[in-house]
Each structure stands twice: as structure tokens, then as C-alpha cells.
């Protein structure tokens, strides 16, 4: 049986470890003994390590046939680099700020398949676009996506299914979109647009920097990704942003140097933390327009997924994690073996891989409806 090492035992990492255990020998690695103890109770091998330490990452990856990386974004690039240096195939969902293609030469040199950004969006949205872009001349791509609690609590009406500091990045990092074949920089939280999301009702979308690798791999004249939240959320985030609470520049407070963003994340974490087994959902709409076989063609995909009552797994862990584990299975069984840095759109180009991902997600009752 092949060995899989999952780096990070948070909500998504734990869900992936449990899912991969069905077919592989899995070891979960984290610094938190509390997180590891829960997985150990589920029969998963565990190992405590500091994943910000390159040598420790290499050590825990030494016996792996494949590594799944699920660390916070600020650690992601260095962790991925360490795995590639260890010459291990890897599927990554850490959504770091750096350009993953900086590691392309290293990955090819070490004969490594490194699938990056392999979550729900970026991730599954890229896979769907990659599939259609190979088969038609795409002129427009638009993705709107968000994970939200069913219970709306004032003032934020939001809970973070992952690290709050990573969420704040979505609200501060300038959004790159493509208009008329040119990359346009827009502020995060800009261009609000109301969206009807069945069965929830009205949500609001805004610009975020979610195109990522698509800016390099796709020659599509119009592309944008927008995040979905409940109406009213943008205004609260904009006030915090404009007031400096998201700043990474140190300030002096009674003789101590602190970054406002660290304090804000610390304060927001208890407010944004999902309650035990709290019901939440993931909503996504993907629109692809272009020419196919000489005619105008439009494809629209809708996803609505929610907390799994049977397995007690959050929707965000399901939609993000199971896309990643589906891709991991493709790498492990040899269906996808391209070397170097491989964003998910490369997987989608292959019809066999695309169909296997769709089928794998269906087995988890995650359905992308084409309407």
C-alpha cells in the first residue's frame, strides 16, 4: 500500500487524511498535539513536526509516495519548496501569495509532479476551465464562490472555515482581472454585484485575487473571480481595512512593535470560528463563454454543497479537500504524471482526468450541475 503524508491537520487537512485512508497508508503531520490526537483516534498515523522547518518537512516526507500540503498560506511556498527538494510528488492547497512557477525548474530537475492551488476555487474552477479551454475558444470566464454559515450573526454574518489571516488576505490583496486581454488591477472588495444563489437567496460578490495561475496559463480576453458573502459584509470589511486594522506595517503600542493585522486576526478568530458541527455551505457559479465548432457556446456550472450531517464534515473541507484528494489519486495511480509545477487547469485539459475528478466528487455527493 502506498504511503501518503498530509502536512497540516486543520479542518481541511484532517478531512483529506481521513479520505485518503480509504485507499492508502496515511500519516498526518502537525505541530498541534490536540489536532493529531483526534486523527490518531480515527486510526490514522500521526507525527508531530514544525512544518515551517525545511529539514523537518524533508524528514516527515522521506518515506512518502505522495505528499499533500495543507498548511496556512504564509507557510505554503517554503513548505512546497521543501517537499520538492525532498523529490516527492505533491498536491498543495495552501494558496500562498508567491508565484508557484518560481519552483517549476526545481520540480522538473527533481522529476516531481507538483499540483498547486488544488482546492475548490482556485482548484475545481481551474479544472473546469482547463477542460473547456482545450475544446473551444474561450472568450469569457467568470467564477463566483464563497463559503458561509447558514446562521447569520451580526455584524459580520460570516464564519471562517480556515485561518482568519488567510481570509483577510482576500480583503487586502489587490485583485488581478483580465479585460480585453489586459491584466487590470482592482482593489479587493470592489465592484459589488448582487447574486441570487438558490436556495439561499441574495448574496453579494466582490473582486478578489483568485485567478492566480490562470493569468499565466490562459490566453482568455476576459476573466474574473469574485468572492460571495452575505449583503452588508463588504462595508464592515472596508471600514476595518480603511482604518488600518489589516495593515502589516508594525506600529508602536506602549513600547512594543505589533502588526495590526495580527491583532485583528486574533480578535476576529473567536468571532469567526465555526461552532461545533455548525451547518455551513459552499456556493459557486462558473460561467464560460466562447466559440465551439464555429458557433457561440456558453457553459454554466452551479455548485451548492453543505455540511455533511452523516460524517460531520464541513462543506468547505469537503469541496476543497476532496478536489485535492481526487487529484492526489490521479497522481498516485499514474493518470496524471506531468512534471513541474502543475496548476489544476493542466489536469482539466485531459478528458480522462477531468471525468475521473467529476466522478470522484460525485462519490462524495459533491455535484457540479451544468445548467
Residue 313 near residue 307 (C-beta atoms within 8 A): yes
Q: How buried is 153 (Cβ within 10 angstroms: 0-12 exposed, 13-18 middle, 19+ buried)?
A: exposed
- Summarised one tens digit per residue, pLDDT across range 182-195 is 999 999 999 999 99
- Residue 165, pLDDT > 80, answer no
- Summarised one tens digit per residue, pLDDT across range 230-269 is 999 999 999 999 999 999 999 999 999 999 999 999 999 8
| Average model confidence (pLDDT) across the chain | 96
- Summarised one tens digit per residue, pLDDT across range 236-247 is 999 999 999 999
Q: CA–CA distance from 165 to each of 9, 12, 94, 96 (Å)?
A: 17, 16, 13, 12
CATH number for 124-306 (one of 3.30.360.10, 3.40.50.2300, 3.20.20.140, 3.20.20.10): it is 3.30.360.10
Residue with cell 460524517: 311
Contacts of 216 (CB under 8 A, 6+ apart): 101
- Residue 164, pLDDT > 80, answer no
The C-alpha angle with vertex 201 and arms to 198 and 206, in degrees rounded to 5, equals: 100
User: In the CATH hierarchy, which fold is given to the domain comprising 3-118+315-370?
Assistant: Rossmann fold (3.40.50)
- Summarised one tens digit per residue, pLDDT across range 85-102 is 999 999 999 989 899 999
* Strand pairing class (201-207; 222-229): antiparallel
Percent of the chain clearing pLDDT 90 (strictly above): 92
Q: Where in the chain is the domain with CATH 3.40.50.720?
A: 3-118+315-370
Amino acid at each position: 500500500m502506498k504511503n501518503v503524508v498530509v502536512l497540516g491537520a486543520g479542518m481541511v487537512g484532517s478531512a483529506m487524511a481521513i479520505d485518503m485512508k480509504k485507499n492508502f497508508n496515511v500519516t498526518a503531520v502537525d505541530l498541534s498535539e490536540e489536532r493529531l490526537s483526534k486523527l490518531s483516534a480515527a486510526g490514522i498515523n500521526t507525527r508531530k513536526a514544525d512544518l515551517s522547518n525545511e529539514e523537518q518537512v524533508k524528514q516527515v516526507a522521506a518515506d512518502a509516495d505522495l505528499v499533500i500540503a495543507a498548511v496556512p498560506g504564509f507557510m505554503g511556498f517554503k513548505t512546497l519548496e521543501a517537499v520538492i527538494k525532498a523529490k516527492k510528488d505533491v498536491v498543495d492547497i495552501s494558496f500562498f501569495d508567491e508565484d508557484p512557477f518560481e519552483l517549476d525548474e526545481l520540480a522538473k530537475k527533481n522529476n516531481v509532479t507538483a499540483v498547486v492551488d488544488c482546492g475548490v476555487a482556485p482548484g475545481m474552477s481551474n479544472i473546469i476551465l482547463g477542460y473547456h479551454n482545450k475544446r473551444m475558444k474561450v472568450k469569457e470566464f467568470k467564477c463566483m464562490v464563497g463559503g458561509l454559515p447558514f446562521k447569520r450573526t451580526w455584524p459580520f454574518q460570516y464564519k471562517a472555515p480556515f485561518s482568519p489571516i488567510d481570509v483577510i488576505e482576500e480583503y487586502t490583496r489587490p485583485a488581478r482581472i483580465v479585460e480585453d486581454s489586459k491584466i487590470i488591477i482592482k482593489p479587493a472588495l470592489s465592484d459589488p454585484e448582487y447574486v441570487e444563489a438558490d436556495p439561499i437567496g441574495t448574496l453579494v460578490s466582490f473582486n478578489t485575487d483568485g485567478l492566480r495561475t490562470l493569468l499565466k496559463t490562459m490566453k482568455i480576453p476576459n476573466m474574473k473571480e469574485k468572492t460571495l458573502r452575505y449583503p452588508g459584509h463588504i462595508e464592515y470589511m472596508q471600514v476595518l481595512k480603511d482604518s488600518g486594522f489589516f495593515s502589516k506595517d508594525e506600529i508602536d503600542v506602549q513600547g512594543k512593535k505589533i502588526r495590526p493585522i495580527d491583532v485583528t486576526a486574533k480578535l476576529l478568530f473567536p468571532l469567526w470560528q465555526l461552532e461545533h458541527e455548525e451547518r455551513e455551505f459552499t456556493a459557486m457559479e462558473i460561467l464560460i463563454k466562447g466559440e465551439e465548432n464555429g458557433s457561440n457556446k456558453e457553459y454554466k456550472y452551479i455548485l451548492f454543497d453543505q455540511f455533511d450531517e452523516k460524517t460531520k464534515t464541513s462543506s468547505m473541507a469537503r469541496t476543497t479537500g476532496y478536489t485535492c484528494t481526487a487529484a492526489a489519486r490521479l497522481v498516485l495511480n499514474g493518470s496524471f504524471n506531468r512534471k513541474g509545477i502543475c496548476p489544476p487547469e493542466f489536469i482539466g485539459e485531459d478528458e480522462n482526468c477531468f471525468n475521473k475528478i467529476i466522478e470522484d466528487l460525485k462519490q462524495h455527493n459533491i455535484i457540479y450541475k451544468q445548467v
